[in-house]
Structure 1
Amino acid sequence: MEEKWVVAGKHADFQAIGKEFGIDPVIARVIRNRNLTQTEQIWYYLNGRKEDLYDPHLMKDVVKAAKIIRNKINSGKKIRIIGDYDIDGVQASYILLKALRRCGARVDIVIPDRMKDGYGINEHLITQAEEQGIDTILTCDNGISAIEPIHMAKQLGMTVVVTDHHDIPYREEDGAIVYLSTEADAVVNPKQQECRYPFKGLCGASVAYKFVQVLYEVSGINPAEADIFIENAGFATVGDVMDLQDENRILVKLGLEMLNHTSNPGMKALILQNKLTFGSIKAYHIGFKIGPCLNASGRLDTARRSLKLLLCEDEIEAAKLASELTALNEERKDMTVLAVEEARGEIQKKHMQDDKVLVVFLPDCHESLAGIVAGRLREAYHRPALVITRGEQGAKGSGRSIECYSMYEELNKCRELFTGFGGHPMAAGFSLPEENIELLRQCLNRNAKLSKEDLIPKIVIDVPMPVDYITKKLILQLEQLEPFGKSNEKPVFADHNLEICSLRILGKDQNVVKMNLLSQHGSRIEGVYFGDPKNLELSVAQKYGNVKAEGLLSGRHVPGIRMHMTYYPDINCYQGTESLQIKVTGFC
């Protein structure tokens, strides 16, 4: 795929920033590229502590909600938590269930079945709650858009408290946005217009943690006891792909410290099952190793299994549950590979390569995989992608977007085609009659204002830096920028004309390329590329021809091959010996 490499051109006195904070000017430049300019912002980014977390009382309705739940506990009323089936929903459910039990509540929990119930509260769950004598419903990671089900609950005399973090639903009237209101007794969601909470980007589990701080306070329990749930809130922040900015950075930093010394038997078992080492777990491992295992049960079975793991206090039982979840995730990965192949075949067959918005119907794909497949298509074609599957009550789909395309807004323009939809700028879920799928494809592409430039992925280089500049001290300072993730991506460095002196292809799947590199200034360094060697072969062939490219990839010495490379500096530890290396991420 064509890429456009651009250098971040933000200016500042990097020497002065480096001197003030005791960091290399290169680190200062990376921080400036994160749009941090004020001394207070930079300090908060580098040194944010638990004491710097925002006051939960600033959140609209949080005291009201806590007092409602406290009164229900005092009255012995039956409270039901209704959560969600993804990482964020499971962690938020765990936080609320443990906290309400700590407060002495008569409480149970329902996590909707992805296939039978769909997302969040619905009328079936309200009817079930009423039949089982539930007095109060407390939501987490859902509820803000459940206008009709909450109306039904109120008609039946129930109390409803919503804790959520999703966008407030709205409709357009004469070009103006009108936000929809709910009849819930209290709504704790920082995205409400009237909410004074200074950071709007919390995940559902973090909102639950903030609520519990206040609930403990009104219950006469030391609010500091709630800090045990920072581990879960930080985990969910990464797992739900929230922006790692502002308060989220602190929550994830603290959460990772706790996770690396976790006392939760279920979490311990899941870490061991995935062969990870305590003390070295990073945000990457949540996003791509242990997090997907918690997600897998909600996709292919029931998320109650993941919740059961978190609640488990027996190490033997925890090991068994962790093994089952890991096996489910392996099954999910195999199913995903097949679904992505089928989707790419559909795009070829129906000549959709030139569509600005991909809308792919995979009737036999497991509906829980639609979002993952849409994400893979977005990455492969660098354009918004929606994958639709055949459900029991019509078609259901998920979409994943690119930065310059607000998926929720664009779906809103086609709302007459849906039986339901929701989401935010980067992702959405929806249902619609099967006969409307082609109409949706036409509508989205007709409305799309995406330019050709928008559809070319841009690789933003933080620092053009010769590999000769790399030192162990610089690499250790780069760790201060972690955790890496959405909106705080790992910095990208680049160097020109690195000569590939030799090359080996390694790994069971032949997906590791090790290179001995020589810089323009005569420094030698090892480079490692994790990916398809054909990507390197194609790039070399474009510059030097097929014969030299094939020779290089076959392991022969082919002199004079120099490539521009993007990379991240790293320390390679092998048999107790440390050496500098670069992890190559791209070449041209």
Structure 2
Amino acid sequence: MEKWILKNPKNDFEKMSEALGVSPLLCRIMVNRGISDYDTARRFISSDIADLYDARGMKDLEKGVNIITDKIKKGCKIRIIGDYDVDGVVSTFILYRALARCGAEVDYAIPHRIFDGYGINNSIIDKAKEDNVDTIITCDNGIAATEQIKYAKAAGLTVVVTDHHEVPFVETENNERLHILPEADAVIDIKRADCGYPFKLLCGAGVAFKFVQVLYSEMEVPVNECDDFYEFVAIATVCDVVDLVGENRILVKKGLSVIGQTKNIGLKALMKQTGIFGKEIGVYHLGFIIGPCINASGRLDWAEKGLKMLLSDNDREAELLALELHNLNTERKDMTLAGVEETVATIEGSSLKQDKILVVYKPDIHESIAGIIAGKIREKYNVPTFIITDAESGVKGSGRSIEEYNMFEGLLKCKELLNRFGGHPMAAGLSLDREKLELLRKQLNETATLTEEDLIPKVYIDARILLSHINLRVAEELSLLEPYGKGNSKPLFAEKGITVTRAAVLGSGRKILKLRLLASPGKYIDAIYFGNICDFDNYISEKYGARELTSLYTGQTSLVKLDIIFNIDINEYNGYRNVQLVMQYYR
């Protein structure tokens, strides 16, 4: 059972409301997200492109642009080295299109997930040298490639790094961290300690976009041509799961406003293939339909297929590539479902479920979906989870964490057992020798300071609201907070002791529960629920008896009362717009 926590921020919401011209409720939600000063709140509500920061404020960005413009003018061969996830593919696409537009002799290379691993490596550098490449520019990788870039420089290559990941470090005897920058000709990364750029949460494509803004300016390309990239930055930003605040919010909002009219043949083909072309595109479509199809080629095949689709100028070629990506994603989903079921069976049939840190060895799981499965298992058990599988050398895996446990710091405590590792507080990857796996599981659990309280799922409520106060105006005003995503979740509201007057099961698959709730005497409001209906029915039967459950479904007088946590939505049907609740939790 989840622990329900009502956020209770301190602020003069009436004064803030008057200053901003929005309701106190909207102000409360913004303060819950750390937006308390009026200027930031105004920018959050308006999210205008004019509020983007000057790209030249990024450390080494002008230096990197100057290097690339000089190489373009000299006719030097430039190669872009990207990554195999959505952010890496989109970053490569943006840089390739922009450099080609500026007249560069440019091509690209994306590492193979299985054979090459993440980021630039020595074999990629050797191939560049063999192909008479003069300059390498990385995107969404490079900041941690100290030895590889040293190797490239020794080979006589010019190297420009564009990245957004954390700068690697070594710990001194005094436990101080010394950050290590690669010895590239320019190192552009917002996470550099000496980078004064005010927004530190851009994805790799966001950094590439900023690079292109200045490149176009220096190469006298009309700056409005950067508009062609907004939809792609939006896809990468959502799929890389960076916080949708600040510049990310602005970029995603702009991208969503134009993606429906995309001129990109490949993207249009993919949208048609997935059945979303012509619909209003939202964050969900970017993160759960478009992105996973692009990602699937990097997981199960080669990410260059996704890139070739975006670069295609031939309708038939784009359609075939879109079909292939869609089929790969379907295969990936089937593999994930099977992997989750097998992993749950392993956990339930062993002592692993007693652990506070799950380390599950599944040798037959495709390493490319280990992270997805780790995320699903983390959701089910609410404990940090690593899924480990066989690799060409030893074993490797991916982890997903909970807010209460810094996964990267946890791995740091076990670094002597690992061959390689990296990541963030909420996600990490690692490789090690097979015989050290059980030692890793024990050491991670022994060094973890998680308490039983930490492992109870928490649901944070933005505000308690009377159902009688919920109307279409409230729902419409909440849309000012969109787009929703990490760092700006859809607001959750709650109310206690709600009388449920009727229940019905809807949908072709009978997977939607609809409840009629008493808002005030003579006034009702509908709520829908997409969770497990059998669990709901059993819960009501246990609490109120089978007769009351029957009364609920037949519309007779019911004694059922619930506390619920919900979102407020607008239901549009046959030209009518009505406010509707989406129930997320009940008790």
Report TM bin, short chain. Answer: over 0.9
What are the residue-to-residue correspondences of 1:170-569 with 2, within 5 Å?
A: 170-174=169-173, 175-276=175-276, 278=278, 280-519=280-519, 521-541=521-541, 543-545=543-545, 547=546, 551=550, 559-569=558-568
Query: Is contact 2:395-2:431 (8 Å) kept?
Result: yes
RMSD of the alignment, in Å? Answer: 1.8
Q: Secondary structure at the residue paired with 2:326?
A: helix
Specify whether residues 131 and 555 from structure 1 end up closer, same or farther in structure 2 by C-alpha distance, changes over 3 A only: farther
Could you tell me how far apart the structure 2 residues matched to 1:551 and 1:422 are?
Answer: 54
Deviation at 1:447, TM superposition (A): 1.0
Deviation at 1:279, TM superposition (A): 5.9
* Matching of residue 576 in structure 1 with residue 570 in structure 2: no
1:6 equivalent in structure 2: 5
Could you tell me how far apart the structure 2 residues matched to 1:549 and 1:412 are?
Answer: 54
Could you tell me how far apart the structure 1 residues matched to 2:506 and 2:360 are?
Answer: 35
Q: Secondary structure at the residue paired with 1:353?
A: helix
Cα deviation digits, residues 521-569 of structure 1 (max 9, x gap): 5531221111221332354345335x35864787685721111111112
2:108 equivalent in structure 1: 109
The two structures have a TM-score, normalised by structure 1, of 0.96
Query: Is contact 2:502-2:552 (8 Å) kept?
Result: no
Specify whether residues 44 and 345 from structure 1 end up closer, same or farther in structure 2 by C-alpha distance, changes over 3 A only: same
Amino acid at match of 1:476: E
Specify whether residues 32 and 161 from structure 1 end up closer, same or farther in structure 2 by C-alpha distance, changes over 3 A only: same
Specify whether residues 562 and 101 from structure 1 end up closer, same or farther in structure 2 by C-alpha distance, changes over 3 A only: same
Could you tell me how far apart the structure 1 residues matched to 2:206 and 2:422 are?
Answer: 21
2:67 equivalent in structure 1: 68
2:25 equivalent in structure 1: 26
Could you tell me how far apart the structure 2 residues matched to 1:508 and 1:176 are?
Answer: 59
Q: Secondary structure at the residue paired with 2:352?
A: coil
Structure 1 unaligned blocks of 5 or more: none
Deviation at 1:318, TM superposition (A): 2.2
Query: Is contact 1:4-1:459 (8 Å) kept?
Result: yes
Amino acid at match of 1:229: F
Cα deviation digits, residues 334-382 of structure 1 (max 9, x gap): 1111100111111112222221111111110111100100111111111
Q: Secondary structure at the residue paired with 1:54?
A: coil
Could you tell me how far apart the structure 2 residues matched to 1:47 and 1:35 are?
Answer: 17
1:79 equivalent in structure 2: 78
Could you tell me how far apart the structure 2 residues matched to 1:322 and 1:519 are?
Answer: 47
Query: Is contact 1:166-1:424 (8 Å) kept?
Result: no
Could you tell me how far apart the structure 2 residues matched to 1:257 and 1:408 are?
Answer: 36
Deviation at 1:265, TM superposition (A): 1.7
* Matching of residue 169 in structure 1 with residue 187 in structure 2: no
Q: Secondary structure at the residue paired with 2:275?
A: coil
2:50 equivalent in structure 1: 51
Specify whether residues 63 and 355 from structure 1 end up closer, same or farther in structure 2 by C-alpha distance, changes over 3 A only: same
Deviation at 1:219, TM superposition (A): 2.0
Could you tell me how far apart the structure 2 residues matched to 1:194 and 1:401 are?
Answer: 29
Deviation at 1:520, TM superposition (A): 5.5
Query: Is contact 2:548-2:559 (8 Å) kept?
Result: no
Query: Is contact 1:213-1:224 (8 Å) kept?
Result: no
Specify whether residues 135 and 477 from structure 1 end up closer, same or farther in structure 2 by C-alpha distance, changes over 3 A only: same
1:39 equivalent in structure 2: 38
Could you tell me how far apart the structure 2 residues matched to 1:379 and 1:405 are?
Answer: 14
Deviation at 1:252, TM superposition (A): 0.8
Deviation at 1:34, TM superposition (A): 1.1
Equivalenced residue count is: 586
Deviation at 1:324, TM superposition (A): 2.0
Query: Is contact 2:548-2:560 (8 Å) kept?
Result: no
Amino acid at match of 1:294: I
Is 310-319 or 170-179 further displaced after alignment?
A: 310-319
Cα deviation digits, residues 407-429 of structure 1 (max 9, x gap): 11211221122211111111111
Is 324-333 or 569-578 further displaced after alignment?
A: 569-578
Query: Is contact 1:497-1:519 (8 Å) kept?
Result: no
Amino acid at match of 1:200: K
Query: Is contact 1:537-1:553 (8 Å) kept?
Result: no
Is 575-584 or 168-177 further displaced after alignment?
A: 575-584
Deviation at 1:97, TM superposition (A): 0.4
Could you tell me how far apart the structure 2 residues matched to 1:119 and 1:278 are?
Answer: 36
Q: Secondary structure at the residue paired with 1:480?
A: helix
Cα deviation digits, residues 365-409 of structure 1 (max 9, x gap): 111100100111111111211111111122111111111222112
Query: Is contact 1:261-1:279 (8 Å) kept?
Result: no
Amino acid at match of 1:268: K
Amino acid at match of 1:173: T
Is 60-69 or 495-504 further displaced after alignment?
A: 495-504
Could you tell me how far apart the structure 2 residues matched to 1:563 and 1:469 are?
Answer: 18
Could you tell me how far apart the structure 2 residues matched to 1:478 and 1:191 are?
Answer: 33
Cα deviation digits, residues 217-268 of structure 1 (max 9, x gap): 2223234422322221122111100001111111111111121222212222
Cα deviation digits, residues 20-60 of structure 1 (max 9, x gap): 22222221211121111111011011012111101111101
Query: Is contact 1:551-1:558 (8 Å) kept?
Result: no
Amino acid at match of 1:517: L
Deviation at 1:208, TM superposition (A): 0.3
Amino acid at match of 1:115: I
Could you tell me how far apart the structure 1 residues matched to 2:556 and 2:447 are?
Answer: 52
Could you tell me how far apart the structure 2 residues matched to 1:497 and 1:537 are?
Answer: 18
Specify whether residues 556 and 328 from structure 1 end up closer, same or farther in structure 2 by C-alpha distance, changes over 3 A only: farther
Q: Secondary structure at the residue paired with 1:495?
A: strand
Amino acid at match of 2:434: E
